[in-house]
């Protein structure tokens, strides 16, 4: 099995802001992820709960070293962008990393 690293960030926005924020994340975070050598994939997940939308970015990387090229040496801290303050209801300090094992065909 091949080992990679999955990085997950979670944010919450108002339901009415969800699609605008998703677009903003596509233009900032996802774009930046994809520019880093070692990034294998990047996606956004949305889950609506009453008037709140939970947003996850899920990225896959070939190594922790590649993640550091995006996030810096303190790679477990979340990275935010200037307009995040316009949308996010709170700012989680850390992201979550998982060692992920893939069965290759």
- 29 touches 8 (CB < 8 A): no
Reported residue count of the chain is 105
How many CB atoms neighbour CB 16 within 10 A? 9
The pTM assigned to this predicted structure is: 0.93
Q: What is the pLDDT of residues 23-82, one digit of tens each?
A: 999 999 999 999 999 999 999 999 999 999 999 999 999 999 999 999 999 999 999 999
d(CA 38, CA 76): 17
Q: How far from each other are the two terminal CA atoms of the chain, in whole angstroms?
A: 10
Parallel, antiparallel, or unpaired: how do β-strands 39-49 and 2-14 relate?
unpaired
């Amino acid at each position: 099995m091949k080992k990679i690293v999955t990085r997950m960030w979670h944010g919450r926005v108002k339901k009415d802001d969800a699609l605008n924020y998703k677009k903003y994340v596509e233009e900032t975070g996802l774009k930046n992820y994809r520019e880093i050598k070692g990034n294998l994939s990047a996606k956004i997940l949305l889950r609506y709960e009453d008037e709140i939308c939970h947003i996850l970015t899920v990225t896959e990387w070939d190594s922790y070293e590649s993640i550091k090229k995006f996030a810096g040496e303190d790679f477990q801290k979340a990275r935010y962008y200037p307009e995040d303050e316009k949308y996010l209801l709170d700012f989680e300090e850390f992201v979550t990393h998982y060692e992920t094992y893939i069965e290759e065909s």
